Structure 1
C-alpha cells in the first residue's frame, strides 16, 4: 500500500508539470522550472517524469504543440508556414518532419483531408435515404449496455495517450478484448470535459486499483469508421455533430460519445489505424 501511495503521489506531482505545459504550450518549459513545480530535484525529475508519463518532457511539449497545430490547420485560416511558426518551428521543413511523425501525414495533406472531411459529411447518407450498392459512411446501430474497466483522464485531450498507457500498465497480463474511449462533453469545454480510457476485460481486477467500473448504457448510435491517425478524431466527431446530425432525422442523446479502437498504434502505422466513432442519438421529436 505504501508503494501505491508513493506512485499516486508521483503521478499527482508530474500532473502539475503536464498541466503547466498544456496551459501554455509555447512557453519556455525549462526542466528546472517544471521540477520545482512538481517538487522534485532537477537531477531526478526527468527520470521520474519519463517513468510516469511514458515519454520525456521534451516529447510531451512537442506532442502538445503539434496537437495545437492540428487545431490551427483544421481551422484553415493560416498557411502551413504560419502554423509552423505559431507552434515554435523555425522552418516549414522541420515542422513537416515533426508533424509527419506525430500524425503519419504532412501538414498540407492533413489540412486538405480535414477540409474534404467537412465537405464529405454533407454527402453522408441521411435517415431514410436509399444507398443500395454503397457502403454507408454512417451506420445506425443499436448497441447493448456494457461495463468497462476505465481510468479517468486528467488534463488536456492532447495528453490522452498518457492515460491509455497507464491503463495498459494497470491491466498487466490481464486479457483485453476491446479498447474504448468515452467522452462526456466537448474537449473545448475544459470545465466539464470528462474522458475515460476504457477496456473490456473478462478477468478480475484488484478492488483497490485506480481503475473504476464504467457503465455505458445501451441505445442507438450513429457509427462512422475513421481511417487514419487518432489526431483526426476530434475533427471528425465535430463534423458529424455539426454537419451530419442536424439533417439526419436524429438528435443527440444524453450518453457519452464513444471511440472504439479497432487496432493499435503500437502495431500499425498511423494511416492504417481504424476507429469507430459512435455518436449517441435518438429519433428527433416532432416540432
Structure 2
C-alpha cells in the first residue's frame, strides 16, 4: 500500500492528466503521451490512473466528451448530428448509443426534458406530474465535509474516498455542496458532505461546514448523476430569468433521495438546490 505522501503525489500527477483531457477532450490523447505527462511508464500509468480515478483513461475521455455534448444540447443552436460530430462521433446512431449509456436517454429526449422540465414558474407541475422548480426555505445546518481537490472530472473519486470512511451512512445523510462555476477554476469549490454524528472523528481531510439557511430554488432531477451539472445550468438559464429571483452567494446543494446501490440510473432521484434571493429592482 502506498504511503500517504506517495498517494498524494500520485493524485496530483493523475490530476494533471485529467485537466489535460478536460481542456481539450477532442485531442487524440494517446496513452503514451498522457503517461509521459504524469511521469509514469505507460503500463504503470494505466494501473495508477484506474486506481485513483476509478475508471480507465478511455472511459474518462468518453465521459468528458459526452458531458460536453450534454452542455451543447442544453444550449441548443446546433442539430444533434452536428453535436455528435463535434464530440467525435461519425454517425448519429453511434452518438445516440453512446449518449444513451451516459445519460440514460437519447440526445433528443435529454434535450426535450431540459426544455420542458425546468420552466420559469416556481411551484408548478406539468400535466404528467413532472417536478418543476419550487421555492423553499431551509434552516442553517452543519455538514461534515471533504473538499474536492483536482479537476471537476475527478469529483467521483472524492465521493469514493468519503464513502470508504462513512459508507454505512444512509443516503439521506449525504450531500454534494458547491460554490462558484465549475468552468472557472478560481472561486469554485466542491465538497462531499454528510450529516455529522456524535463520535465522528475529524482529521486534516475533513472540515465542519456551516451552511447558512435561506431561500432556495429546488428541482428534483430524475435520472443519472451525469445530468446534474446540465440541470443546474438549466435552472440558471431557463428558470431564473423570469422567476423574480437572482442567485445568492451561498453553497448550492445536491440531496440524494435514493442510491445507485438500490436503483437503476433512470430511477435515481436527486434534489438540486440553488441559493436565491429576491432580484434587485432596476
- Superposed CA RMSD in Å reads 2.8
Question: Any unmatched runs of 5+ in structure 2?
Answer: none
Matched, 1:91 2:91: yes
Show the counterpart of 1:131: none
Show the counterpart of 1:121: 119
Q: Which of 271, 275, 282 is 1:276 aligned to?
A: 271
Q: Distance in 2 between matches of 1:253 and 1:13?
A: 35
Q: Distance in 2 between matches of 1:176 and 1:140?
A: 23
Show the counterpart of 1:15: 15
Q: Distance in 1 between matches of 2:55 and 2:12?
A: 16
Q: Distance in 2 between matches of 1:83 and 1:252?
A: 29
Q: Distance in 1 between matches of 2:170 and 2:115?
A: 39
Show the counterpart of 1:130: none
Q: Which of 138, 143, 148 is 2:138 aligned to?
A: 143
TM-score, normalised relative to structure 1: 0.85
Q: Distance in 2 between matches of 1:168 and 1:19?
A: 24
Question: Any unmatched runs of 5+ in structure 1?
Answer: 127-133
Per the alignment, do residues 186 and 98 of structure 1 end up closer, same or farther by CA in structure 2, a change over 3 Å counting?
Answer: same
Between Structure 1 and Structure 2, how many residues are aligned? 279
Show the counterpart of 2:212: 217
| 1:185 positional shift | 1.4
Show the counterpart of 1:227: 222
Show the counterpart of 1:129: none
| Higher mean C-alpha deviation, range 262-271 or range 272-281 | 262-271
Q: Which of 240, 243, 250 is 1:245 aligned to?
A: 240
Matched, 1:193 2:191: no
Per the alignment, do residues 245 and 74 of structure 1 end up closer, same or farther by CA in structure 2, a change over 3 Å counting?
Answer: closer
Show the counterpart of 1:30: 30
| 1:65 positional shift | 0.7
| Higher mean C-alpha deviation, range 77-86 or range 95-104 | 77-86
Show the counterpart of 1:60: 60
User: Which whole-Å deviations, capped at 9, do the CAs of 1:10-48 have from their partners, x for residues lacking one?
Assistant: 111111111111111111111121111112222211111
Q: Distance in 1 between matches of 2:243 and 2:167?
A: 42
Secondary structure of the 1:121 match is coil
